[in-house]
Amino acid sequence: MQTHEIRKRFLDHFVAAGHTEIPSASLVLDDPNLLFVNAGMVPFKPYFLGERTPESPRATSIQKCVRTLDIEEVGITTRHNTFFQMAGNFSFGDYFKREAIAFAWSLLTNPVADGGFGIDPTRLWPTVYLDDDEAEAIWRDEIGVPAERIQRRGMKDNYWSMGVPGPCGPCSEIFYDRGPEYGVEGGPEADEDRYIEIWNLVFMQNERGEGGTKDDYPILGPLPRPNIDTGMGIERVATILQGVDNVYETDLLKPVIDTAARLTGRAYGAGGEDGHAADVRFRVIADHARTAVMLISDEITPGNDGRGYVLRRLLRRIVRSARLLGADQPTMGDFVDTVIATMSPSYPVLAEKASSIRATAVAEEQAFLRTLADGSKLFDEAVTATRDAGSTVITGSKAFALHDTYGFPIDLTLEMAAEAGLSVDEQGFTDLMAEQRRRAQADAKGKKTGHAEESVYREFLDRGPTEFTGFDELVSDATVLGIVGGGLTRPVATVGDQVDIVLDRTPLYAESGGQMADIGTISTSAGARARVTDVQKVAKSVYRHVATVEAGEFVVGDVVLAAVDPQYRRGATQGHSGTHLVGAALRQVLGSGATQAGSLNRPGYLRFDFRAQGPLSDAQRAEVEDITNSAVESDHEVHTFETGLDEAKAMGAMALFGENYGDRVRVVEIGGPFSMELCGGTHVGSSAQVGPVTLLGESSVASGVRRVEAYVGLDSYRHLARERALLAAVSSTLKVPGEEVPDRVATLVERLRDAEKSLEKLKADAARASAASVLDDAERIGDTLVVAARLADGLSGGDLRALATDLRARLGSQAGIVALFSVTDGKVPFVVALTGAARDAGLSAGAIVGDVAPTVGGRGGGKPDLAQGSGTDPDGIATALARVRQAAG
């Protein structure tokens, strides 16, 4: 049975049993605690935590999941996958153990002709929690499983919680016996390789408290309404129903392995020690290719931190595995095409986004192939230097240089070092990366709303969403539903208090879809007034107005007047509508593949991220600006309307990045076919109201993602006025007409470059003359001639390197050390060069640099014959020179 059929049968089974089918959520949810969705129940957490009320008491879904903790184990074993599909059925206070067990058993064992999976019931072994007599009785007395095939297990295996205070409860797992060829008899307790878990039924019936370990925490008591959360592993069931040994041989992953075999000329499953290593690489390619395609389809792009880094790491492991298997040409496009062909029957969006997914993955492969070519040379040098120094540990600075200069991720350096029989000073690397990691942590902490905060708003969430009136008016009557301050609800707010005010209705726009929140006021007829500086959504439905009380007091239940700052709103609408115009212009110039990858707009300003594999040319940038302003001049009507999601897509409406849409969507149409997008933001009435649009610049923000920025309206005019005044000032200074300024500046720049080259030549000649005299002061220490000196200030490391190699050549065949130091802008560059005879005598330039660097407050490194570094303490140069002489002795 094909995997797509397994999915369909699962959903059909539970829909027929009264469950509402819920489409898979994105792999990325607005949850600060999760990098990716890692379990089928994650999208339903607000219901289990009591933060939101479900629309239906029964639900079923097949959720996309990614787990990345075991990336290094992928391929080494056949049990680990980064991407998997979790089929689930959920009850929110409706049915409980009896029905959940019956639903699972009937689907697994019913004949194929009746819609089931047709699994032999004698091969299924249920497990229950130690004291869950109720579940065991249902399995034994109602389902008919013999008592000897029901096993009780402890808290570690058969009790579930989220790891934090909240719902918890015992589990009942269903295992499939693969047969004696896979291990010993005795059920799951005896061998989980032979008996594999295919279904887990979680009976949420208790509430847990703080503290404790995974299998030891306080149980506070029963929940008022028990819930059901079950999960069936699609890939594991596919392994069973397709009669293969492991998931990599199923219909969704084996085709990728076959593609890898075709491209590399290697055979999967060939056996032998080398064959095992090859099989690991085949499995890495299959697993990571599928995961990468699914991540890119959810708008994740390769990057250097967070989710982007995980994707980059997966793609680079694919490239390197293919190279190690023997591929000498790019392979990523073929892997992506294979994944899309196998997965798109279940996920049609993959076929729709095929070109952009492929472009993103291929661009990362091309970039990494360059990284491998350049970085491998540096890595080989690091290996040689490490061995020459008699060490087995590559320094943290070498690992950092690989990362910082060539983009080598540390995990790749670790893998390559292990293959070379070496290790890496990971702590040293970590210390050098501290600043980058702090930035990543700061970004994670920047999330404005987490589950802990949402719990304060639970009562408001249960009342339903805030009514937004801002499309039709800037001032609205409203009622204060709640006041939140310091993480707690409060009955009143007085002058000076900074609080969140929850209203039943509001004209103030909450930040979303790239549009910044409105600012404005909330006031009462009694004279109370609060200044609103931000508006955010809780659980995408309740608006919280971040406000400071400036006069009077606000009490829950007050009737108030909520007002938007009209000037701010006008600028915001100009920025948002301008974003739509620029996006449409980019698609005209670059093609339909230039889809949105993010945006931000505020009064007078916009930025737009789009997918492209290279920068805009000057001509393209000018064309985008011209098309945008032509649309402004045409004064297109901005028309908004609501329709069904499928109807909107059929009309060609573009979906905005990062948005989740319901069955009814809002469409913003500017000039008919010119721009049509799904959008919940506020807009101008006609395109002329956007005012002039001036592109400020274009840059790269991630692999395959570019960014344009622009001013709109009065800010655009002011920018152009400043540019005009600047040109007039330069024209006046150069005493040429404005149109001749570029040519005159180019001439002056060329003359300046010539002067700099002449100056550099004079400086180099002087340095060589100075260095030549250094030979006269050379000292013979033992059998080694030492040339060690501080040269004139102002020489760079490159200058010193050229002089050192020149002096070394003059020493000929004798053993010699050349060590040169200089001081430039408070820094101390230095270089050590050794002749061949000195190296043969056991000396190493890298070791000498490592010894002298601390004396000048610096660090450095290099090869045995030439090494260099830089410090910050000129007073240590004399000590450094003395250490060079000691090294010769």
* The token pair that represents 124 in the structure block: 């299924």
Q: Is 288 annotated as a binding residue?
A: no
Q: Which of 694, 698, 697 is nearest to 614 (CA)?
A: 698
Residues 6+ apart with CB under 8 A from 581: 628, 631, 632, 670, 675, 687, 690, 693
Instruction: Count Cβ atoms within 10 A of the Cβ of residue 183 and give its class: 0-12 exposed, 13-18 middle, 19 or more buried.
Output: middle
Q: Is 80 annotated as a binding residue?
A: no
Q: Which of 770, 795, 772, 780 is nearest to 877 (CA)?
A: 795
Q: Which of 81, 72, 84 is nearest to 317 (CA)?
A: 72
Bridge-based pairing of strands 505-506 and 467-468 is parallel
Give CA–CA dist 775/789, Å, rounded. 10
The dihedral formed by the CA atoms of 455, 475, 546 and 483, expressed in degrees to the nearest 10? -50
Give CA–CA dist 393/527, Å, rounded. 71
Give CA–CA dist 375/369, Å, rounded. 10
Q: Is 683 annotated as a binding residue?
A: yes
For 617, the 3-state DSSP assignment is coil
- 563: which strand partners? 475, 521
* DSSP code of residue 143: I
86 dihedral zone (left: phi>0; alpha: psi -120 to 50; beta): beta
Residues 6+ apart with CB under 8 A from 160: 168, 169, 170, 171, 202, 204, 229
Q: Is 13 annotated as a binding residue?
A: no
Q: In this structure, which long-range contacts are made by residues 420-426, counting pairs with CB atoms below 8 Å and at least 24 apart in sequence?
A: 420/383, 421/392, 422/383, 422/386, 422/392, 422/393, 422/394, 423/392, 423/393, 423/394, 424/393, 424/394, 424/396, 424/399, 425/393, 425/394, 425/395, 425/396, 425/399, 426/396, 426/399
Count of residues in the chain: 889
Binding-site residue ranges for Zn(2+): 576, 580, 679, 683
Q: What are the binding residues?
A: 576, 580, 679, 683
